[in-house]
Structure 1
Amino acid sequence: MSAPAAESTSIDPRRISGIVIGASAGGVDALSVLLPALQRQATVPVFVVLHLPRDRPSLLADIFASKCALPCREAQDKEPVVPGTIYFAPPDYHLLLDRGPGAWPHLALSADALVNFSRPAIDVLFESAADIYGECLLGIVLTGGNHDGAAGLKAIHEAQGQTIVQDPADAQLSFMPEAALATVTPSAVMSLAQIARLLSGL
C-alpha cells in the first residue's frame, strides 16, 4: 500500500501530553533519529516499545542515554510517570499505563501472553495509553516486519488522539507502516526527518 509522503499540518503539538512509539526491525536506527530530537525543555513523557529478544537484557536505556537530552529509563512496574522522561519497555514484559494513585499515570508491566507474537507488544502499550491520555496522546508507528501497532493506532484514533505513521518508502521495513495504514487513516504520514522536526518543537 502506498501513501503520500508530504508533511501534514494536522498535528497540533499543543495537544500532546504523552507520546507512544512502536517499532520493530530497523527500530534502533529510526529511534536514533527521533529521540535525540526531543529538547531538554520538553515536558512530555515518551513511552517506547521496540521488539526485543525476550531472553536477553535490553541495553536501550544505556544506548540512548548518551544520545538524548531527556533522561532514558527502562520501565519499572508501578513506577509513577515523570514528565520529560523516555521509558523503554523491558524484554519479555508488556508495558502498559495505569491511572494509579496521585495525579500522574503509573507504569505497569505484564507477563501476559504474547500479542502479535511479541512481548512487549506495541498494541498493548498503545491501547492502554489511549485510555489514559485520550485526545492528548500522540502515537507513532515506525519500521517493522509485522502488523503490531495497527490495532493500537486505531485505538488512539478512536480516542481522538493524534497518529503518525512513518512513510513506508522511508522505512527500513515497510510492512508495519503499511499494516497501520491499512487499518486506520493517520493524522499524518511522515519521513523520520519530518517526525524529528515535529518532536524538536515540543
Structure 2
Amino acid sequence: MYDLVVVGASWGGLQAVGRLLSDLPDDFDLPIVIAQHRHPDAQEGTLAQLLQRRTDRRVLEAEDKLTIEPRHVYVAPPDYHLLVERGSFALSVEDRVSYARPSIDVLFESAADAFGDGLIGIILTGANDDGARGLARIKELGGVALIQDPTAAVRRAMPDAAIATTAADAILPLEEIGAFVYKVWIHAAAAQPPVRDSGPVEGVWGNREVPPARTQTAEKTDA
C-alpha cells in the first residue's frame, strides 16, 4: 500500500499542479505534499490559496511538526526547505539547493527515507534540474517515479533532467497523471500494475518486479 504522494514543479507549475489535483477522484485519500518554486515577489496570493480554488481537498501551508493527515494537500512555505518525517513535517532554513528553497530534492529525499516503497513521486514542468536526484532516490528505495512528458510541459528542463537520472515507471502527458496515480493507488492492494488505455504500463511498482520501464531519450533544452 502507498502512504504519500510528493510533487515537484517550477515554471508553469501552478497550472500543472492544479490540473493534477482536480483530476484526482474524491475517494483518493493519500496526503499530497508539494514543493514548487515561486518568485518571491508573487502577488496573486499564497500557493495554498491558489491551489485551494482548484480542489475540494483541504490545502495547507506545511508547518514544523504538523501532523500529516489523509486527503490533505500540503505545500512547502516560501523560503523554507520542507522535510517529511514519519507522520509529520520539519522545516529548515539551510542553504538553497539547486538555487531553490524550498528544494524539491530535499522534500523527495526526506520522504523517500521516511516512507520507502510507500511513496509516489511526481516531477512536473520546471526550468532547472531540481527534483531529479530526489526522484532517483524514491525509485532506489522502491517507490513509484512518474514524470510529466517534457514535450508538452511549459518548461521541459525539469522533466528532462528527471528522465536522464531516473528509470521512471511512466512518462505521461499532464492530463493522464491524475488518473494514473489513482490507478496505482487502487491497484496496490491487489499488487497489480495499472494499465493505460494505450497498453500495459511497465516498470517496478514498489518491490514487485515487472518488465523494464519504457524509456524516453532526454533532449537538450534551452530552458
| TM-score interval (norm. to shorter) | 0.7 to 0.9
- Distance in 1, matches of 2:116 and 2:127, equals 27
- Distance in 1, matches of 2:128 and 2:42, equals 21
Shift of 1:39: 2.9
Are 2:92 and 1:92 aligned? no
Percent pairwise identity: 41
Contact 1:55 1:91 in 2 (8 A): no
Amino acid at match of 2:80: Y
Can you list the C-alpha shifts for 1:149-191, whole angstroms capped at 9, x where unaligned?
0000010011100000111111111111000111111010001
Aligned residue number for residue 28 of structure 2? 42
Secondary structure of 1:115's aligned partner:
coil
Equivalent of residue 166 in structure 2, options 184, 190, 201: 184
Aligned residue number for residue 31 of structure 1? 17
Contact 1:38 1:68 in 2 (8 A): no
Secondary structure of 1:140's aligned partner:
strand
Higher RCO, 1 or 2 (CA under 8 Å, sep at least 6)? 1
Equivalent of residue 108 in structure 1, options 83, 90, 93: 90
Name structure 1 gaps, 5 residues minimum. Answer: 1-14, 100-104
Aligned residue number for residue 126 of structure 1? 108
Secondary structure of 1:61's aligned partner:
helix
Shift of 1:33: 0.9
Equivalent of residue 48 in structure 2, options 49, 53, 61: 61
Contact 2:24 2:179 in 1 (8 A): no
TM-score norm. by structure 1 comes to 0.86
TM-score norm. by structure 2 comes to 0.78
Matches within 5 A, 1:125-144: 125-144=107-126
Q: Relative to structure 2, which stretch is displaced further, 176-185 or 50-59?
A: 50-59
- Distance in 2, matches of 1:155 and 1:117, equals 20
Amino acid at match of 2:133: A
Amino acid at match of 2:75: F
Matches within 5 A, 1:161-172: 161-172=143-154
Amino acid at match of 1:21: V
- Distance in 1, matches of 2:65 and 2:41, equals 23
- Distance in 1, matches of 2:54 and 2:18, equals 8
- Distance in 1, matches of 2:29 and 2:16, equals 22
Shift of 1:55: 5.8
Aligned length: 183
Aligned residue number for residue 68 of structure 2? 81
Contact 1:37 1:200 in 2 (8 A): no
Contact 1:46 1:84 in 2 (8 A): yes
Secondary structure of 1:97's aligned partner:
strand
Amino acid at match of 1:65: Q
Secondary structure of 2:63's aligned partner:
coil
